[in-house]
Amino acid sequence: METKPEESDQHPIPAVQSETSKHHLSSLALMVVEQFGKQSEPNHEHKITVNPFVSKVASAYEKLRNAMEYREDEVILRATIERILRRRLLLGGTAKSTAEPLIRELIWARYLPDNAVPASAIKEVEDTIDLYLQLRLRVLEKYAVKVSQMNEWTYHLMSSAVEHVLNPNNEKQTLANFMYQVMKDDISIVDDDEQTRDAQVYIAVRKAFARDDIAFLRFHLFQLYFGGLSWSSLDHVVTSFPEGFKEISAQLHYPRKDRIYSYIKHRAAVFFILEDILIKHGDSLQEVLEDEEKLKVAVWEACEKRYKSISRKVRTAIMRSFVFILLTKVLFAFGVEGTYEQIFYGSIQWTSILLNTSIPPLLMILVSVFIRTPNEENTRVIYSYVTKLLYDESPRLGSQLVIKKQTDKPHLVFSLLWLSAFLISFGSIISVLSQLHFNLVSQGIFIFFVTIVSFLAYRISMVAHVFSVGEKQGILTPLIDFLFMPVIRVGRRLTQSISQINFFLFLFDFLIETPFKVVFAAIEQWFKFLHEKTEDLG
């Protein structure tokens, strides 16, 4: 008998070819289901509230500020916490003076819901900040560690720990651990130990499924290596910090990490769909997951919903990329190019200015045109893998990955081909620009934009493939990779380098954001004062 979910008219669900429609969950899957089925205890403690007018203005400001940095949605809260911590602590704040304003700023900007964060979180955040500041101070006193490097680690660890306090998301952590337990046996590094293999699988899962950035990765590896940080473990962590720092850095720069991440990434869609099902069906979880017909309906519905969200995610990514380029790069480029042409040519060359301005958004639009959502065959594969995850004691999602830590040096022919790809790609661009009479500065700016936009466009195309299972290549994929991968790789390097030094972000964070937040706090206090006076009348 065929069953159709409510929102999947285009993709009917095939009948199940099995002797029975009832299955029992594996021991590992049962533990995950029990964790998702747990009911959280109601917290009747006093909650922190903010003024709705201040919240509306602050959230609008945050949208503009976030557009200036290209980040995944999953790490925006942590990055915002880090930004607030840096601003307040660098301006002389302490753990005590920073904790409550930090939480209020997050509620203003609607990163956290109003009237939901308990007042006790202020003390918990204060203790967390103080703990990591003490770690920084004692490590710098005891070891010859670069101050800039220790500062970066401190803010990464501190902001991640504060987010864990305010937004723990235990269900995500549970499913990430489940994914790690499943995937680690599918990967083998023949010339390295199991500890390294396990660490690399853990890192890949955190990146592919939890979407961790470098700060979160450092934090989770720090937790694994030291067993967490507390006042009772502080002495031990300080004593062992150099060894832990070295080991964590080595794991994050492991030579074969990209191959392991790619393998994990192409299987992450299965766990995203399973997560959706676990969250949606709540009280009836075990009933749905143990009945094959009900599970099939749930998988098809979850896939259809995810596929329909792709176009919205792509539009959002395109808009963010465009604003990111406009606000942080275009104004600088106009200043350099326009000034150069005024000095050496006596006037601005509007043709090059127009092309340098129009090519980035056109390239973004072109990428969006060719993006396709996954098809029904992809859903069938996801369903097949979901059943393995739930019912098999030792599930395997496709073929095993076997790699070597040390590989032979690239063949001379391959090195020459890679060099020729660079020459062909950038040589063609320079040749076309020369025929259009672009000067050297205009050519440099054009290449600068094209490489960065190509990298952002590549990341946008990856958004559409988040829910695709397996590695699929078209006929023209090798040729496209040959011509465009050099441009994309240069764009990635430029984006990563320039994001470290961003004049506009400095202006926003210290010269604009600081007085803005002072004004927000003053307005909120004024509204609170008026409210108290109104209550006195009663």
Per-residue model confidence (pLDDT) at position 16: 41
Separation CA 349–CA 437 (nearest Å):
10
Proportion of the chain above pLDDT 70, given as a percent: 78
Separation CA 143–CA 130 (nearest Å):
20
Per-residue model confidence (pLDDT) at position 525: 76
Is residue 324 over pLDDT 80? no
Per-residue model confidence (pLDDT) at position 325: 66
Separation CA 389–CA 380 (nearest Å):
14
**How many other C-beta atoms lie within 10 A of the C-beta of residue 108?**
26
Measure CA of the first residue to CA of the last residue in the chain; give whole Å. Answer: 67
Q: Where along the chain do its domains lie?
A: 52-267, 268-500
Is the separation of the CB atoms in 260 and 204 below 8 Å?
yes
Separation CA 56–CA 66 (nearest Å):
16
Separation CA 380–CA 396 (nearest Å):
16
Per-residue model confidence (pLDDT) at position 79: 93
Beta strands in 279-412 (DSSP E): 401-403
Separation CA 317–CA 330 (nearest Å):
18
Confidence class for position 76, pLDDT limits 50, 70, 90: very high
Mean pLDDT, the chain, as a whole number? 82
pLDDT digits (tens, 9 = 90+) for 260-289: 999 999 999 999 999 999 998 877 788 888
Per-residue model confidence (pLDDT) at position 372: 76
Separation CA 472–CA 374 (nearest Å):
11
**How many other C-beta atoms lie within 10 A of the C-beta of residue 281?**
19
pTM of the model: 0.80
Per-residue model confidence (pLDDT) at position 285: 82
Is residue 326 over pLDDT 60? yes
Per-residue model confidence (pLDDT) at position 7: 40
Confidence class for position 91, pLDDT limits 50, 70, 90: confident
Which residues lie closer than 8 Å to 164 by C-beta, 6 or more apart? none
The per-residue DSSP string of 493-524 comes to: HHHHHHHHS-HHHHIIIIIIHHHHHHHHHHHH
Per-residue model confidence (pLDDT) at position 342: 64
DSSP state of 92: T
Closest CA to 289 of 273, 303, 268: 273
Per-residue model confidence (pLDDT) at position 445: 77
Closest CA to 182 of 174, 190, 192: 174
The more confidently predicted of residues 132 and 359 is 132
Alpha carbon 136 to its chain's center: 26
Per-residue model confidence (pLDDT) at position 452: 79
Per-residue model confidence (pLDDT) at position 225: 95
Separation CA 118–CA 160 (nearest Å):
19
Confidence class for position 536, pLDDT limits 50, 70, 90: low
Helix/strand/coil percent split, the chain, to 5:
75, 0, 25
Per-residue model confidence (pLDDT) at position 96: 96
Per-residue model confidence (pLDDT) at position 357: 66
Is the separation of the CB atoms in 98 and 158 below 8 Å?
no
Determine the residue type at 315: R
pLDDT digits (tens, 9 = 90+) for 95-150: 999 999 999 999 999 999 999 999 999 999 999 999 999 999 999 999 999 999 99
Per-residue model confidence (pLDDT) at position 486: 85
pLDDT digits (tens, 9 = 90+) for 155-208: 999 999 999 999 998 889 999 999 999 999 899 998 888 999 999 999 999 999
Burial class (CB in 10 A: 0-12, 13-18, 19+), 411: exposed
CA distances from 4 to 13, 89, 295, 404 (A): 6, 56, 12, 46
Burial readout 152-182 (b: 16 or more C-beta within 10 A, e: otherwise): ebbbbbbbbbbbbebeeeeebebbbbbbbeb
Separation CA 126–CA 88 (nearest Å):
13
Tokens of 284: 């009836």
Is residue 70 over pLDDT 70? no
pLDDT digits (tens, 9 = 90+) for 501-520: 555 566 666 666 777 777 77
Is the separation of the CB atoms in 114 and 100 below 8 Å?
no
Task: Look up tokens 């391959």; give the residue.
Answer: 414
Per-residue model confidence (pLDDT) at position 344: 67
CA distances from 146 to 7, 140, 228, 473 (A): 56, 8, 23, 45
Which residues lie closer than 8 Å to 67 by C-beta, 6 or more apart? 319, 320, 323, 324, 327
Full 3-state SS string of 406-474: CCCCCCHHHHHHHHHHHHHHHHHHHHHHHHCCCCHHHHHHHHHHHHHHHHHHHHHHHHCCCCCCCCCCC
